[in-house]
Amino acid sequence: MKYLDEFRDPVVAKKILDEIHAVTTQPWVIMEICGGQTHSIIRNGIDQVLPKEIELVHGPGCPVCVTPLEIIDQAIEIAGRPDVIFTSFGDMLRVPGSHKDLFMVRSEGGDVRTVFSPLESLKIARENPDKEVVFFAVGFETTAPGNAMAVAQAAKEGLTNFSELVSHVLVPPAMEALLSSPLNRVQGYLAAGHVCTVMGWDEYDPIAKKFKVPIVITGFEPMDILEGILHTVKQLEAGTYKVENCYARIVEQGGNQPAQKIIRDVFEITNRKWRGIGEIPVSGYKITEKYAVHDAELKFEVTDIHTEEPEICISGVILQGLKKPHDCPAFGKECTPQTPLGATMVSSEGACAAYYLYQRIAD
């Protein structure tokens, strides 16, 4: 299949891998930001074939993982109301809140529907004028333009029965927060290719300079990831810290300008809580005053729902690469992919869920 097979070619991948082995002389800790990259690394076993000196730390770029528990609880509260059609991307439905998940809301009679785009929720809103249609707008800069577009379109059409429960988070502030931690171990970043497709890479130059870390924009296929690792290791070995683009077939420096324009129109930057990390200043989006009528958090008055994470969960330190999942007393016991206690066990892209499988083969 074109644009896929050439980036999965094992012969070429092996060549890049050999080069990584050749240039690596000492231990390096590299974080891949995006959950899609983690997924690809695990799926293809990239971490198993790298030089033992290279440690990959799985970053916070999994929207399912980092959406805070209290927003899930807010979603569950809204979705259970009789006048609401609650719409969401599929993988949010299984994420447990404090007491239940959205699947359970559906089984109790809530109208919860999977959609593949927020514009489909808009269509549902058009067809159901007597219902409140809510879209669960989660994700990073990648999903923000589509979610912003749905709000702008709803406003244009006067669809006041459409709103979004927004939990949008931004990558660069999280990268900075992780590097600022006194316990930080990350020495280089594989930046998330899709995020850069939308936003470009100008935001990364100051981070690379301030913290002296190489940042390499990386795609998602095995060859993309190996190429990203190779360039990061080369920089680390040479002591340089530039922003490099290894996903040039899609990413341009300025990003996607029309997408950024619609984001600026609908969203404004706000402080956001990250599951497993806590609040990071200016690290997310909320709906602007202009579109407040489409903000589900205000419409359904759920702002007073606050939930604390289970104390036993150490996903915060795992996300920083300070501890491994099997260092957690709950790992594989109270906490499994079926009964996740925290961020990194929630999604197959999370570090704990990934290790849960590897732990078993090591037995």
Partner 1 sequence: MIFPEALSCPVPILTHDTVQMAHGAGGKLSSEMIDKIFLPRFTNTTLEQMEDQAILDNPGGRIAFSTDTFVVDPIFFPGGDIGDLAINGTVNDVAMSGAQPKFLSVGFILEEGLSFEILHRIVLSMEQAAKLAGVQIVAGDTKVVNRGSCDKLFINTTGIGFVPDDIHISASNLKPGDKIILSGSLADHGMAVMTSREGLSFQSTVKSDTAGLNHLVSDMLATSTEIHAMRDPTRGGLATSLNEFAASSKVGIQLYNDTIPVKDDVRGACEILGIDPLYVANEGKLVAIVPAEIADKMLATMQANPLGQDAVIIGEVTDKHPGIVALRTGLGANRIVDMPVGEQLPRIC
The residues that touch partner 1, with contacts defined as CB under 8 A, are 1, 4, 8-10, 13-14, 17, 34-36, 42-49, 63-64, 89-94, 113-117, 119-120, 138-140, 142-143, 194, 222, 337-338, 349, 357-358, 360-361
In the bound complex, what is the minimum distance in angstroms from residue 48's beta carbon to partner 1?
4
In the bound complex, what is the minimum distance in angstroms from residue 172's beta carbon to partner 1?
17
Q: CB-wise, 183 or 362, nearer to partner 1?
A: 362
Report helix, strand and coil shares of the chain as percent, to nearest 5.
45, 20, 35
In the bound complex, what is the minimum distance in angstroms from residue 255's beta carbon to partner 1?
16
In the bound complex, what is the minimum distance in angstroms from residue 8's beta carbon to partner 1?
6
Strands 162-169 and 278-287: what pairing?
antiparallel
Q: CB-wise, 120 or 317, nearer to partner 1?
A: 120
Look at phi and psi of residue 182 and say left if phi exceeds 0, alpha if psi is from -120 to 50, else beta.
Answer: alpha
Cα 319 from Cα 209, distance rounded (Å): 23
Let me know: does 131 contact 79? Beta carbons within 8 Å.
Answer: no
Q: Is 189 helix (H, G, I), strand (E, B) or coil?
A: strand
CA distances from 95 to 91, 170, 174, 318, 335 (A): 7, 20, 22, 19, 13
Q: Show the beta-strand stretches assigned E in the chain.
A: 28-34, 54-61, 84-88, 111-114, 132-139, 162-169, 188-192, 215-218, 243-245, 267-274, 278-287
- The rounded Cα 194 to chain-centroid distance in angstroms is 11
Cα 51 from Cα 196, distance rounded (Å): 28
Let me know: does 56 contact 50? Beta carbons within 8 Å.
Answer: yes
In the bound complex, what is the minimum distance in angstroms from residue 321's beta carbon to partner 1?
21
In the bound complex, what is the minimum distance in angstroms from residue 144's beta carbon to partner 1?
11
Q: CB-wise, 120 or 293, nearer to partner 1?
A: 120
Q: CB-wise, 146 or 293, nearer to partner 1?
A: 146
Cα 363 from Cα 204, distance rounded (Å): 41
Q: CB-wise, 81 or 103, nearer to partner 1?
A: 103
In the bound complex, what is the minimum distance in angstroms from residue 210's beta carbon to partner 1?
27
CA distances from 329 to 65, 154, 335 (A): 20, 47, 9
Supply 161's token pair.
């029965």
In the bound complex, what is the minimum distance in angstroms from residue 81's beta carbon to partner 1?
21
In the bound complex, what is the minimum distance in angstroms from residue 2's beta carbon to partner 1?
10
Cα 110 from Cα 87, distance rounded (Å): 11
**Count of C-beta atoms within a 10 Å radius of residue 180:** 11
